Chains A and B, each alone.
Chain A
């Protein structure tokens, strides 16, 4: 590294100006180093050290134990289900309003989606407890009709319950990020395909979906990451008793439930690794979708 740092300026004329120009970025670099890079680096280094400070890969091998493995499985499953369901219904809803609904509905839907996608965490979990929790409004109504969901195996405090709650912020987020792509579908394309005798399904199969596909996939990947990193909602809903990666990290942070600090760091880094992959995939798809949807 030092060789590089000294070597680079020499290759260019005006070494003095080069070093002074960097000064403008110093506040940002210092801040992000202190409060983002060093803490991340601390977790990375810690994840490769055992309790005596020696290098080890045991922390990562330990992720295949039952509790961490199940945490990853549940987190990934919930994120996948809510990303797919939220993505599908969000797309249908955005398409319904943008293409078929009155124009004023559109701005209303976008504003509401902005609010709803930010209405998450503790108040969201509470709102669902008051609605379809054991003593909730809807539960009471359904029980009055003789179909109490809690007598039929449903529980809000389960995986399915959590998925229903996550759907509440996944759906509006999908609407927000897919709307520009739907706007990009040009009326001319439909008219052109109709002029050439295409059926509606042919328009969708050969024109609209191929154009929208990168945006659809990219948006769903974003939804996946959004659910995967969520902690507050699940914590409030289940009291910390559901085995998700974020919940497990929280429990490790307060009580060292894995009985090994290094294992906690590895758990966190596994999460960062998965999220990094989703971000890379998203950026790749984003570049693909920009080809058509300008």
Chain B
């Protein structure tokens, strides 16, 4: 079994090297090429080892797969994941509701406001989540707007904080999407047919932004579901703090949930890659670490 595996691996390497020497790129020497491959495989190893380590640890729980069964029977798992998911959906809705009309209006009527709007949407790069939540709690833990006094208020504050975090890539996604269509003509055509602003935004602009918005939405979902810092300091029952606290009582389950969370990120990013095929615009911004 091991022999066979090693043998097949050897054949694979031979095949690879054979292929490489058959198609030399512009006469480059093969030692250089070997160096590149070495770097590549070192990188692959570095990336998969922690996942393997997590998986092996989750399997130490006896009987086999009991950590996963335990997680799937834990109401807190569904509770926290559901909470983060709903917060994520509301974040996406608010973010799209704010960003689409704003970027549309800036492009159509207020090009002079562009630098200011861009400045505001870039601010989250300069204000990391821990500083933002610091500011939010300092501002809204007392009159006149005591958000943090109630659960509902804290959840609202968390959601609005996430909306702010989504500003940079959401605005850029919408703006790039708008650039690829003729906003002026579409708007004038719709207006000449008697459409109002709401109708134009909802039935003309929004459908044309489908790909950009869906990519932004999945990225937001991935970031919100994995976010820890803001949820921790606002004391919300979100997925991040749930995962962090699991270790003290259920270490194997914690490893299982960590892997599940990686799988969820995979799914979200897979959708983005799928949507991004064919379109030139790609959004590559990371979230809260």
A and B assemble together: yes
What residues of chain A have their CB less than 8 Å away from a CB belonging to chain B? 21-22, 24-25, 27-28, 31-32, 34-40, 42-43, 46, 89, 92-93, 95-97, 99-101, 107, 110-112, 114-124, 126-128, 130-132, 136-138, 167-169, 171-173, 176-177, 187, 190-191, 194, 200, 225-233, 235-236, 246, 249-250, 252-254, 264-265, 268, 271-272, 275-276, 279
User: In the complex, what residues of B have CB within 8 A of residue A111's CB?
Assistant: 269-270, 273
Question: Do A114 and B120 touch (CB < 8 A)?
Answer: no
Contact of B287 with A93 in the complex, beta carbons under 8 Å: no
For A95, the closest partner residue in chain B by CB is: B36
Residue of A nearest to B29 (CB): A200
Q: By the criterion CB–CB under 8 Å, are A279 and B125 in contact?
A: yes
B289 touches which one: A89, A120, A131 (CB < 8 A)? A120
CB neighbours (8 Å) of B136 from chain A are 35, 39
| A25-B105, A93-B43, A235-B228 given; 12 more Cβ-contact pairs under 8 Å | A28-B99, A34-B160, A35-B136, A92-B36, A120-B288, A122-B243, A123-B226, A126-B254, A131-B53, A132-B53, A138-B53, A272-B126
B167: chain A residues within 8 A (beta carbon): 32, 36
- Which residues of the other chain, A, contact B164 by a CB distance below 8 angstroms? 32, 35-36
Determine whether the beta carbon of A229 is less than 8 Å from that of B25: no
- Whether B133 sits at the interface, judged by CB under 8 Å, is yes
The answer to whether A253 and B262 have CB atoms under 8 Å apart is: no
Cβ contact within 8 Å between A122 and B126: no
Cβ-based interface call for B101 (8 A): yes
User: In terms of DSSP, what is the predominant structure of the interface of chain B?
Assistant: helix
CB distance from A92 to the nearest CB of B (A): 5
With A99-B25, A118-B226, A173-B286 as given contacts, are A249 and B134 in contact (CB-CB < 8 Å)?
yes
- Residues from chain B with Cβ under 8 Å of A123 in the complex: 226, 243, 257-259, 261-262
Contact of B130 among A25, A38, A116, A246 (CB under 8 A): A246
Tell me the complex Cα distance, A42–B132, Å: 11
User: With the chains together, A28 CA to B97 CA distance in Å?
Assistant: 9
A68 to B226, CA, bound (A): 28
Q: How many residues of B contact A (CB 8 A)?
A: 87
At the interface, yes or no: B138 with Cβ under 8 Å from chain A?
A: yes
When chains A and B are docked, how far (Å) is the Cα of A119 from the Cα of B177?
A: 27
A284–B57 Cα gap in the complex (Å)?
A: 46
How far apart are A194's CB and chain B's nearest CB, in angstroms? Answer: 8
CB of B106 closer than 8 Å to a CB of A: yes
**Chain B nearest Cβ from A225, distance in angstroms:** 7
Given A100, A169, A172, A268, which contacts B131 in the complex, CB threshold below 8 Å?
Answer: A268
Q: Let me know if A171 and B43 touch, CB within 8 A.
A: yes
Q: Are A39 and B139 in contact (CB under 8 A)?
A: yes
Chain B residues with CB under 8 Å of A43's CB are 131, 134-135, 138
| A268–B132 CA distance with the chains assembled, in angstroms | 9
Find chain B residues with CB under 8 A from A227 CB. 289
Task: Compute how far the CA of A193 lies from the CA of B255 in the bound complex, rounded to whole angstroms.
Answer: 53
Asked whether A231 lies within 8 Å of B126 as measured between CB atoms, the reply is: no
Question: A122, A229, A268, A279 — which one has the most chain B CB atoms within 10 A of its CB?
Answer: A122
